[in-house]
Each structure stands twice: as C-alpha cells, then as structure tokens.
Structure 1
Amino acid sequence: MGNRRLAYEPALDGIRAIAIILVVLLHAYTPGFAGGYFGVDVFFVLSGYLITRLLCVELDQTGKIDLRRFWVRRLWRLYPVLLMVLAVYLAVCTAAWPDQSFDTHFKASLIAGLYLTDYAWAFDAPIRQLQHTWSLAVEEQFYLVWPLLLLLLNRFQRKHAILLLAALYVVAHAWRMMQSGIRTDLPLHFSFDTHATGLILGCLIGRMRPEIPKWLGWIGLMGIALTVYAFPARDTHSILISFPLVEASSALLILSPPTWLGISLLAWLGRLSYGWYLWHFPIMVWIMDQGYSWETVATLGGMVSLACAAVSYYTVERWVRGFRSRSGENSLLTERPSDLA
C-alpha cells in the first residue's frame, strides 16, 4: 500500500497545547479567558488539516480512499480513552452528584458514547458533566461525510475542487448566521450543522497546502489571542467576525508555526491534549460544585485532570498504538489529531 507516513511536526502539538490550555482556563471561569472557547475552533482547523493531508496522500498513492480502514482507524484512535473516561464517570457519578440518579448519568454517558452530544438539546438530555463531548460528536459526524466528499471533489480539476470547498466554507458560515436569529446559544454553538466551519477550512488548507512566510504564523497567533480577548461573549453580532477571524488565524498558525511551539513541554502537553480534554470537564464541574474558587478549580482541576490524561495516554493510548502496530496497522502522525474540545 506504500508508505503513507507523514513527517512529525512537534510545533503542531504545541498548537494543541495552547488550544487545550485555553479551554481548561475557560471552564475554570478564569478571569480574562471567557473567550477560551475558541480553543475548540483551533482544534477543528488543525484536525481538518491533518486528516485531509493523510487522505490526500492515500489518494495520490492509491487513487482511492479505504473508507472502512479510515473509519475504523478513527474509532481506534478516539474510542478507547472515551470509554475509559465514561467508565470511571459512571463508577463515581452517584457519589459525586448524589442529587442525580444513576439513570440520568447513564443516559448522558450513552449520548456521549454515541457521539450525539452536539444534539443532546434536541433530546432534552441532562448532560452537564459531559457536555464538553459535543466537539467530539461534531468531528466524528463530519468525518463520516468528509472522505466521501473528498472522493467526489477528486473528480474535478484541482482548482475547481478548491473553489467548491471554499464555497462550502462560505455557505456554512452563512447558515450559521441565519440560524443565529433562530436558535438559542447551546443549539447554535454545539451543533454539527452550525459549527463545522473550522473543520471545513482545515480541510481546505490541507488540500491546498500553500507555502506562506514564517511571519504570518505570528500574525495567526496574535489573531487567536485577539479573538479570545475581544470576543468573550457568543452573541449574534460577534459571530460574524469572531469565528472567521479565529479560523483564519488558526490556518495561518498551522501553515507556518513558530519553531518555539515545538519545545518539549508544549509538545508533551499537545500529545496529552485529547485525554486532558476528556478528563478535565467533569473533574472541574465537581470541584466547582464543592464551592471552591476559580483559582482552585484551575490549579487543582487542571493538575488532576492532566495527571489522569497522562495515565490514560501511557496506558490505554500507548497499548492501542502498540496493538495496532503489531497487527500491521501503520501508526501515523495524523492519528494525533485535535480530537477535542
């Protein structure tokens, strides 16, 4: 099948580290980080970029995409740690939140495990402790469709395929703006059909692979910081600017990341980012429910959830990677995608 391995870029793990730190600080209600939810959009652009690079290499080498292999690989990458988190959650949920029944927690876990959290509002489902899994649901639903769409686009000339993908990005933004006057906050921002724009842009730049000057990566980093600072509220008026700004900034940063983003600490945090994302939210919710300040939630919740992420990474994730390697499945760079937030 040929070598479909992509060169490892530690700076991309550094981008993951910045994104997960933004999300963790947001969920601790850290002053000045109310816009930390844009960390999810950084992850979305990065995920679309990496997955598209992988699929394009396969297309170039084989002329096709092994859809079954792609979808199975995604499940192997994401599901073991998610199941571990859900199992631990169900084991402690009634002790941690005695005012809620086990059935309530089980229903929330089932919705999360089926990647339906982004539409939990439609089921009127109580998913407070697991609501952060909406982003996993958005990604997985997108990747059910994207390989099929890429195969279709591959029938066109490259420039026409890129124009069609760019048009899809514009249409997706227009749809979000139309829905902003209809839906309330959670249905608007946590749903696949209104929050796939970052993934689409990531797919676009992954298909184009443009070379840009290094200084534009710094512009991208500053653009992300500006968005987080300037748009703390997800109101109807701000989304016209904020989401395109953070997505475009993320694209610049991904295409030309400063080399310091690849330092060992940031790269390590980036490798743990998927597990950290999964663990941090229920842990922080429990600490907040005990009445602690944001400082305690951020420090204690952040450290405990990071420790849990390290355990799941060095046990479950490493075991899965080793098992797949022994069974003949290639271990790819792009199997460290931004599967979060």
Structure 2
Amino acid sequence: MQTYRPDIDGLRTIAVLSVILFHVGYSQFGGGFVGVDIFFTISGYLITKIIVEEKCETGKFDFFRFYMRRARRLLPTLLLVVAATLLVGFFMFPKDLTQDLGGSAVYSLLSISNIYFWLNSGYFDAGANLRPLLHTWSLAVEEQFYLVWPALLVGTLSLAASGRKALLIVLLFVGCGSFLAGELLLNGWGPTYIQQLAIDAETTTFFLAPFRMYEFILGGLVLWLPKLGPKRSLLSDLIALTGIGLMAYGIFFVTEESKFPSYNALVPCLGTALVIWAQNGRFIPVALGIGPMAYLGRISYTLYLIHWPATVYYGFWRAGPLENADRIAVLAVTFVLSATVYHLLEKPLRRPTPKRQQLNRSAFGLVCCFVGLIL
C-alpha cells in the first residue's frame, strides 16, 4: 500500500534545485544536471512499488487507471508551459529559432523530444541556451519508461512461477544490460555499424531511454533490499548520509566535460537509492521531510518545467551572461509562477476536492487532445 513519504519529496527538492541552480549559472553546481538522474531513480522506485504492490496484493493491475493518473499528473502543466513558451517565442525569437522551437514543441507533445534533440543537438552544445524546450527530453524519457515498465513487470509477475524472485532477475539483467550498452558505446567497443548508427556516442547515451533504464531500475531494486532496523535507527542514518554524499559527488564534482552518463550518473543514482532505502533514520529522513523541503518537492515538476524557458528567454532578452541580480530575478519568477500553476492547475486536476467538479476520464482526455492538436 502506498504511503506518503515527505523525505522523498525532500529528495525531489535536492534534484530540482540542483538542476535550476546549474542552469541559471551558479558554477558551484557544475554537475547540477545530475538532478535529472536523481529524478529517474525516484520515479523507478515509486512506479515499481505501485505496480508490484497492486499486482501482488490484488492479483491484477489496472493499466487504464495507472495511465490516467500519470496523465493527470503530467499533461495539464506540460500543455500550459508549451503553449506559453510558443507564445513568447513567437514574439521574441527570430524566424530560425521560432522554427526550431515549433519542431521541439511538436516532439515534446508526442513524448519523443529526446529523439528530436538527439538528432539535432547535444545537451551541452553552445546553442542549447536558445532552446526553451530542451529540458523536456527528460520528461520524454520518463514517459517512455511509463510506456514499457508496467507491461514488463506485470508480464513477468504473471508468467513466472517464482513471482518477485523472477522479477528481480529480470530487473538485474535489464539494468546491467542498459549500463553496459552505454559503456560499450561511450568507449567505442561495439560493432562498427552500431557506432555509425549512434550518430554521436555521448549524445546517444545521454538522450535515449535504453541507456538510462538502469537509473530507474536502481530505484526499483530498493523493494528487494532487506528492511532496516526499527524507527530512528542510527544505521539508517549512516546509510542515508552515505547516499547524500554520493549525490553530492555528482552535483558538485561532475562537470560538463566529465564522462557522462556512465559512472558519473551511476554514483548519484546509487546514492538516491540508498537514501530511499534508509527511511527509518533519526535525522536524515526527518531533515529531508521538513516543511519547505517537502513543499518544494511537491511543486518540483512545475518548477522543472517552468525554470528553463524562463532562463532562456531572460538570457535572450538580456543578450549576455546572467549576473547575480539576473539569476535572482529568474529564480523569483520561476518560484512565483510555479507555485501559482501548481495551486491553480496541477493540484486541482490531480487531486480534486469533493467540492470541486472533477473532469471525468473521457472529458479530461478529450480536452488534452484538443489542446495538444491546437498547439
């Protein structure tokens, strides 16, 4: 049974703040982009837990309900941000940038923007700061994960007599295969025709979902770890502290020049999994779950979607590198807009109250499709 864990929202806060502070130009957060990898590991844990527990407890899994919940969580804010980004770009950008923005918007709405940017750029290319929807590549990877993961888990649990044990073997096999495939590509060890298809090894392993799958699986594997001692356990705190240290390695010591994803993504993902596992600690889980940390984690999706277009457009208007005052302005706009969108759009549609009329499934789907087609 799913129970709310504020410490996981605290992990989301670390992830999203790392990404935002990296993008606005704080050099201390040179590896802040690994916040995306932290998000992937959190998602792997939560989604695997939802699927495995429902299947094991009830003997079945409601695919339609699962995908409707994901849609209510992701689509309304994404549609709003894409619409606002297109509108601002139409008036602010020259023709060539507007055309590129339109292309990335279409791919974003189809959940394949990672493929668009794989074919057209690298994440750290000089022109990346003129692509307001570049950050949607990670959302596309996550949605592709949602597409295949339930079928894989439910199919394995249904067909294998040993159930969870067989699923563990499958996860280990897929996870190791995902990581090793990336290493082969990055080191040029694969067959020549594979290297040629990859276009650019670093860009391929960065953007494409198969080479990121192990990050989700690391989170899912937490379900098979033995439960740690009683509540307020010192051992749990030591494990969580080790995890925080591994995450800090990625955030503060990985750079744009580092070999990536590779072990530089594996390390913070492993740290995230350790923190999730060590939920019985006396200090670390409590610190992660305090009010401001948990709140920022709850609005982290909206923060992530809004911060990059705000940064790109402000930088384009500024026509130069951001100074400290500019960074503060971008951060302020991002937090105000994100809190507003979360409370007025995301939260009401995701968790409607009894007093508020809820769109039924058909109406919600039709409205999202209609808005998407207009965009």
Classify the TM-score, shorter chain: 0.7 to 0.9
2:300 maps to 1:273? yes
Distance 2:131 2:217 in 1: 28
C-alpha contact (below 8 Å) 1:138/1:196 kept by paired residues: no
Q: Please, which of 179, 200, 204 is the counterpart of residue 173 of structure 1?
A: 179
Post-superposition Cα deviations, 1:165-205, rounded to whole Å, max 9, x if no partner, equal 11211111001112213424333212112222211211222
Mapped partners of 2:118, 2:18: distance in 1: 28
Say if 1:264 and 1:149 are closer, same or farther in 2 by CA, change over 3 A: same
2:369 aligned residue? none
Q: Is the 8 A contact 2:258 2:264 kept in 1?
A: no
Q: Single out whichever of 30-39 and 291-300 deviates more from structure 2.
A: 291-300
Q: Distance in 2 between matches of 1:272 and 1:55?
A: 24
* Amino-acid identity (%): 31
- Give the whole-Å Cα distance in 2 for the aligned partners of 1:53 and 1:324: 26
Give the TM-score normalised by structure 1.
0.87
Letter in 1 for 2:342: Y
SS of the equivalent of 2:27 reads coil
Give the aligned length. Answer: 323
Letter in 1 for 2:327: A
- The amino acid of 1:318's aligned partner reads K
Moved more, 58-67 or 111-120: 58-67
Change in 2 beyond 3 A, CA 1:62/1:88: same
CA distance in 2, matches of 1:96, 1:149: 45
| Other structure's SS at 1:14 match | helix
Partner in structure 2 of residue 187 of structure 1 = 204
Shift of 1:287: 1.9
Q: What does the per-residue CA deviation read over 1:241-295, in whole Å, with 9 as the maximum and x for residues that have no partner?
A: 3222111111001122511111101111111100000000011012222124252
C-alpha distance in structure 1 between counterparts of 2:81 and 2:117, whole Å: 22
Query: Is the contact between residue 28 and residue 294 of structure 1 (CA under 8 Å) also seen in structure 2?
Result: no
Deviation track 1:131-157 (CA, whole Å, cap 9, x = no partner) reads 100111001101110011101221332
- Matched residue, 1:332: none
CA contact (8 A) 1:14 1:261 kept: yes
**Higher relative contact order structure (alpha carbons within 8 Å, sequence separation ≥ 6):** 1
2:9 aligned counterpart, secondary structure: helix
1:55 aligns with 2:51: yes
Structure 1 equivalent of residue 370 of structure 2:
none
Alpha carbons 2:89, 2:101 under 8 Å: kept? yes
Match for residue 82 of structure 1 among 53, 58, 78: 78
For residues 341 and 325 of structure 2, the distance between their equivalents in structure 1, rounded to whole angstroms, comes to 23
Q: Which of residues 214, 230, 238 is equivalent to 2:253? A: 230
Which stretch of the first structure deviates more once superposed, 65-74 or 100-109?
Answer: 100-109
* Partner residue in 1 for 2:334: 305
1:251 aligns with 2:267: no
Q: Does 1:131 align with 2:95?
A: no
| 2:291 pairs with 1:264 | yes
1:74, distance to aligned residue in structure 2 (A): 1.0
Measured in 2, the distance between the counterparts of 1:10 and 1:234 equals 34
Whether the aligned pair in 2 keeps the contact of 1:172 and 1:194 (CA below 8 Å) is yes
Deviation at 1:231, TM superposition (A): 1.9
Runs of 4+ that moved beyond 3 A:
98-104, 121-127, 233-236, 322-329
Matched letter for residue 241 of structure 1: Y
- 1:338 — aligned with what? none
Q: Is residue 286 from structure 1 mapped to residue 313 from structure 2 by the alignment?
A: yes
In structure 2, distance between residues paired with 1:116 and 1:239: 19
Offset at residue 104 of structure 1 (A): 3.5
For the 8 Å contact 2:22–2:31, the answer to whether it is kept is yes
Q: 1:23 to 1:297 in 2, by over 3 A?
A: farther
Q: Which amino acid aligns with 2:253?
A: A
**Separation of aligned partners in 2, 1:313 and 1:134:** 21
The match for 2:226 is 210
Change (3 A) 1:110 1:31: same
- Alignment partners' CA distance in 2, 1:32 and 1:69: 42
**Structure 1 residues 101 and 234, CA gap change in structure 2 (3 angstroms):** closer
For 2:201 and 2:329, the matched residues in 1 are separated by 32
